[in-house]
Chain A
Amino acid sequence: MLKLVRRGIVANLGRLILTLISVTLGVAFVSGSFVLADSLRAIFNQVSEDAFAGVDAQIQAVEPELNSGQNLVRFDGSLVDEIAALDEVEYAEGGLFVFEQTYTQDADGEIVRPQGPPVFSGSWGGPSPASAFTLLEGEAPVGQQIAVDEAQATAGGFSIGDMITVTIPIGEPEQFELSGLIDFGEGGTGGAFFILYDLPTMQRVLAIDGNLVDSIIVTASPGTDTDDLLAAIQTKLPDGLEVLSSEEVIADQQEQFGTIIDIFGNVLLGFAIVVLFVSIFIIYNTFAILVGQRTKQLGLLRSIGASGAQIRAMVLIEAVIIGVAASIVGLFGGVGVAWLLKQLFSTGGGSFPDGPLRILPRTIVVVVVVGLLVTLLSAILPAIRASRVSPLEAVRDGGQRERSMRFRILAGGAVLVPGLMALLFGMFGDIEGTAPRLASIGIGAALTFLGVAMLSALFAGQAASVLGLPAEAVKGITGRLARDNASRNPQRTAATATALMIGLALITGVAVLTESLLRTFDEVLEESITADLFVFEEAQGLPFSSVVVDQLGALPEVGEVTGFAPVEAKIDDNVESLSAYDTETGSSVVNIGVVDGAVEGPEGLGTDGIAVLAEKAETLGLEIGDTVSIELEDGFTTDLTVEAIYDEDTLVGAAFVVDRDLTSPHLNVDNVGFVGLTYAEGVDPEVGRAAVEQVTSNFAQLSVQDNTEFQQQTEDQVGQLQIVINGLLVLCLVVAFFGIVNTMALSILERIREIGLLRAVGTTRRQLRTAVRWEAVIVAVFGSLLGIAMGLLLGWAAVVAIPDTFISKVGIPWLSLVIYLLVGAVLGVIAAFFPATRAARMNVLDAIAYE
Chain B
Amino acid sequence: MSTNEMAAEAKAASKVYGHGETAVHALRGVDVGFEKGKFTAIMGPSGSGKSTLMHCMAGLDRLTGGEVFIGDTALTTLNDKQLTELRRNRVGFIFQAYNLVPTLNARENITLPMDLGGRDIDTAWVDEVISTVGLADRVTHRPNELSGGQQQRVAVARALASKPEIVYGDEPTGNLDSRTSAEILEFMRAAVDELGQTIVMVTHDPRGASYADRVLFLADGEIVHELESPDADLIYDTIRNLGDGGPVLGDHD
User: How far does the alpha carbon of A50 sit from the alpha carbon of B117 in the complex, in Å?
Assistant: 77
Note all chain A residues with C-beta closer than 8 A to B107: none
Nearest Cβ on chain B to A481's Cβ, whole angstroms? 7
Note all chain B residues with C-beta closer than 8 A to A754: 98, 101-102
Cross-chain contact B116 with A761 (CB below 8 angstroms)? yes
A475-498 CB contacts (< 8 Å) to partner B? 476-478, 480-481, 484-485, 488
Nearest Cβ on chain B to A230's Cβ, whole angstroms? 83
Cross-chain contact A476 with B118 (CB below 8 angstroms)? yes
Nearest Cβ on chain A to B251's Cβ, whole angstroms? 12
Note all chain B residues with C-beta closer than 8 A to A758: 101, 112, 116
> Which candidate, A23-31, A175-183, A762-770, is the interface stretch facing chain B?
A762-770
Cross-chain contact B102 with A488 (CB below 8 angstroms)? yes
Note all chain B residues with C-beta closer than 8 A to A844: 60-61
Note all chain B residues with C-beta closer than 8 A to A765: 80-81, 84
Cross-chain contact A481 with B60 (CB below 8 angstroms)? no
Cross-chain contact A762 with B87 (CB below 8 angstroms)? yes
User: How far does the alpha carbon of A480 sit from the alpha carbon of B105 in the complex, in Å?
Assistant: 12
B206, CB-defined interface residue at 8 Å: no
Note all chain A residues with C-beta closer than 8 A to B38: none
B99, CB-defined interface residue at 8 Å: yes
Cross-chain contact A762 with B88 (CB below 8 angstroms)? yes
Q: A763, A766, A845: which contacts B60 (Cβ < 8 A)?
A: A845
Cross-chain contact A762 with B116 (CB below 8 angstroms)? yes
Note all chain B residues with C-beta closer than 8 A to A848: 60, 95, 98
B68-96 CB contacts (< 8 Å) to partner A? 80-81, 84-85, 87-89, 93, 95
Note all chain B residues with C-beta closer than 8 A to A764: 81, 84-85, 116
Note all chain A residues with C-beta closer than 8 A to B117: 762
Nearest Cβ on chain A to B109's Cβ, whole angstroms? 9
User: How far does the alpha carbon of A757 sit from the alpha carbon of B61 in the complex, in Å?
Assistant: 14
Note all chain B residues with C-beta closer than 8 A to A756: 98
Q: A485, A753, A762: which contacts B89 (Cβ < 8 A)?
A: A762
Cross-chain contact A845 with B61 (CB below 8 angstroms)? yes
B55, CB-defined interface residue at 8 Å: yes
Cross-chain contact B98 with A757 (CB below 8 angstroms)? yes
A757-790 CB contacts (< 8 Å) to partner B? 757-767
Note all chain A residues with C-beta closer than 8 A to B95: 757, 760, 848
Note all chain A residues with C-beta closer than 8 A to B108: 480
Note all chain A residues with C-beta closer than 8 A to B87: 760-762
Cross-chain contact A481 with B84 (CB below 8 angstroms)? no
Cross-chain contact A760 with B60 (CB below 8 angstroms)? yes
User: How far does the alpha carbon of A753 sit from the alpha carbon of B98 in the complex, in Å?
Assistant: 7
Given A488-B102, A845-B55, A845-B61, A761–B112 Cβ distance below 8 Å? yes
Nearest Cβ on chain B to A754's Cβ, whole angstroms? 6
Measured CB to CB, the nearest residue on chain B to A484 is B103
Nearest Cβ on chain B to A468's Cβ, whole angstroms? 11
Note all chain B residues with C-beta closer than 8 A to A476: 115, 118
User: How far does the alpha carbon of A758 sit from the alpha carbon of B84 in the complex, in Å?
Assistant: 10
Note all chain B residues with C-beta closer than 8 A to A845: 55, 60-61
Nearest Cβ on chain B to A262's Cβ, whole angstroms? 54
B44, CB-defined interface residue at 8 Å: no
User: How far does the alpha carbon of A485 sit from the alpha carbon of B80 in the complex, in Å?
Assistant: 25
Nearest Cβ on chain B to A788's Cβ, whole angstroms? 28
Tally of contact residues, A, Cβ under 8 A? 25
Tally of contact residues, B, Cβ under 8 A? 27
Measured CB to CB, the nearest residue on chain A to B86 is A762
B208, CB-defined interface residue at 8 Å: no
Cross-chain contact A488 with B103 (CB below 8 angstroms)? yes
Note all chain A residues with C-beta closer than 8 A to B99: 757
Interface centre among A477, A756, A848 (most CB of B within 10 A): A477
Nearest Cβ on chain B to A204's Cβ, whole angstroms? 85
Q: B61, B81, B88, B101: which contacts A481 (Cβ < 8 A)?
A: B101
Interface centre among B81, B93, B103, B158 (most CB of A within 10 A): B103
Nearest Cβ on chain B to A791's Cβ, whole angstroms? 32
A810-851 CB contacts (< 8 Å) to partner B? 844-845, 848
B49, CB-defined interface residue at 8 Å: no
User: How far does the alpha carbon of A764 sit from the alpha carbon of B158 in the complex, in Å?
Assistant: 18
User: How far does the alpha carbon of A757 sit from the alpha carbon of B100 in the complex, in Å?
Assistant: 8
Given A757-B99, A761-B93, A761-B158, A477–B116 Cβ distance below 8 Å? yes
Nearest Cβ on chain B to A529's Cβ, whole angstroms? 62
Note all chain B residues with C-beta closer than 8 A to A759: 84
User: How far does the alpha carbon of A485 sit from the alpha carbon of B101 in the complex, in Å?
Assistant: 10
Nearest Cβ on chain A to B80's Cβ, whole angstroms? 7
Nearest Cβ on chain B to A123's Cβ, whole angstroms? 80
Note all chain A residues with C-beta closer than 8 A to B100: 757
B149-173 CB contacts (< 8 Å) to partner A? 158
Nearest Cβ on chain A to B84's Cβ, whole angstroms? 5
Note all chain B residues with C-beta closer than 8 A to A481: 101, 103-104
Measured CB to CB, the nearest residue on chain B to A848 is B95
Cross-chain contact B55 with A757 (CB below 8 angstroms)? no
User: How far does the alpha carbon of A481 sit from the alpha carbon of B113 in the complex, in Å?
Assistant: 13
Interface centre among A756, A762, A767, A844 (most CB of B within 10 A): A762
A438-492 CB contacts (< 8 Å) to partner B? 476-478, 480-481, 484-485, 488
B88-143 CB contacts (< 8 Å) to partner A? 88-89, 93, 95, 98-104, 108, 112-113, 115-118
User: How far does the alpha carbon of A484 sit from the alpha carbon of B103 in the complex, in Å?
Assistant: 6
Cross-chain contact A763 with B102 (CB below 8 angstroms)? no
Measured CB to CB, the nearest residue on chain A to B117 is A762
Nearest Cβ on chain A to B169's Cβ, whole angstroms? 12
Note all chain A residues with C-beta closer than 8 A to B116: 477-478, 758, 761-764, 767
Note all chain A residues with C-beta closer than 8 A to B80: 765
Measured CB to CB, the nearest residue on chain A to B60 is A844
Given A476-B118, A485-B103, A845-B60, A763–B98 Cβ distance below 8 Å? no
Interface centre among B80, B101, B117 (most CB of A within 10 A): B101
User: How far does the alpha carbon of A252 sit from the alpha carbon of B209 in the complex, in Å?
Assistant: 95
Note all chain A residues with C-beta closer than 8 A to B60: 760, 844-845, 848
User: How far does the alpha carbon of A753 sit from the alpha carbon of B108 in the complex, in Å?
Assistant: 18
Measured CB to CB, the nearest residue on chain A to B87 is A762
User: How far does the alpha carbon of A753 sit from the alpha carbon of B115 in the complex, in Å?
Assistant: 20
Given A757-B95, A844-B60, A762–B101 Cβ distance below 8 Å? no
Nearest Cβ on chain A to B160's Cβ, whole angstroms? 13
User: How far does the alpha carbon of A839 sit from the alpha carbon of B103 in the complex, in Å?
Assistant: 18
Note all chain B residues with C-beta closer than 8 A to A480: 104, 108, 115
Note all chain B residues with C-beta closer than 8 A to A760: 60, 87, 93, 95
Q: A477, A478, A484, A762: which contacts B84 (Cβ < 8 A)?
A: A762
Measured CB to CB, the nearest residue on chain A to B115 is A477
Measured CB to CB, the nearest residue on chain A to B84 is A764
User: How far does the alpha carbon of A762 sit from the alpha carbon of B117 in the complex, in Å?
Assistant: 8
Given A845-B60, A848-B95, A761–B102 Cβ distance below 8 Å? no
User: How far does the alpha carbon of A398 sit from the alpha carbon of B193 in the complex, in Å?
Assistant: 36
A477-B115, A757-B95, A764-B116 given; 19 more Cβ-contact pairs under 8 Å: A476-B118, A480-B115, A485-B103, A488-B103, A754-B102, A758-B101, A758-B112, A758-B116, A759-B84, A761-B88, A762-B85, A762-B117, A763-B116, A764-B85, A766-B81, A767-B116, A844-B60, A848-B60, A848-B95
The 8 closest A-B pairs by CB, nearest first: A762-B88, A484-B103, A477-B115, A753-B98, A764-B84, A762-B113, A762-B87, A761-B113
Can you show 8 pairs from A to B with CB atoms below 8 A apart? A476-B118, A477-B115, A477-B116, A481-B101, A758-B112, A758-B116, A844-B61, A845-B55
Chain B interface (Cβ < 8 Å from any Cβ of A) = 55, 60-61, 80-81, 84-85, 87-89, 93, 95, 98-104, 108, 112-113, 115-118, 158
